[in-house]
Amino acid sequence: MDGAVAGHQGSDITSELEDPASRQSAPPSCKDTNTASNKYPRCRNGNHSYVSPTDVIRANSLELACVLDKIKENSDSIKAAQLAAERDSQENESAAKLLIVNTLIATSNTLVIVAKDLAMKCVVRLAESKVLVAEKATIIAEVEDLATGDPAAAIEKLANFVRSLEKRFTEPSELDD
């Protein structure tokens, strides 16, 4: 600023902002109302309501400093919230991966149970096949008895054997479940 503005000596605004004593200085006198900007009220007939442009700049600068402090606080809060969100996101990813792993383990356990059940059914089918092979051998032996021995006794044995086969294959099997 050039010279005295409205009775206020021209001083460096930064020193006024930094020096708390200068903030509480007395309002400028109204000696030179012609140098004040038209934006600001002027002294009129002893009414001391004049505000110098320096005081307005100082007040605006202080208000701006407060706003900047609040922005910095909000920025710090936002950064903290972002970090927390990233941490939560990573925890959620870990939890999701753990859930997938647990699901895969449960599925594999179920598959093991199903495989054991199928293995047991195969063992039962194999045993039944062995029984059928033995019965086939019995049938062949009885047919040979028919050809060489007592035909009535052989026919009776064969009829009983066929009834037992019919009974076995008409009743529901445990494997049909």
What are the domain boundaries of the chain?
52-176
Phi then psi dihedrals of residue 44, to 5 deg:
-135, 115
Structure letter (DSSP) for residue 46? T
What's the pLDDT score for residue 74? 80
3-state class of 171 per DSSP?
A: coil
Measured distance CA(56)–CA(36) in Å, rounded? 12
Report residue 165 CA to chain centroid gap. Answer: 62
Q: Which residues contact 143 (CB under 8 A, 6 or more apart)?
A: 154, 158
pTM for the predicted model, two decimal places? 0.36
Q: What is the pLDDT along the chain (177 residues), one digit of tens a residue?
A: 444 444 444 444 444 444 444 444 444 444 444 444 444 444 444 555 555 667 778 777 888 888 888 888 888 888 888 888 888 888 888 888 888 988 888 888 898 898 888 888 888 888 888 888 888 888 787 777 777 777 777 778 778 878 887 887 777 665 555
What's the pLDDT score for residue 9? 43
Measured distance CA(55)–CA(120) in Å, rounded? 96
The answer to whether the beta carbons of residues 28 and 52 sit under 8 Å apart is yes
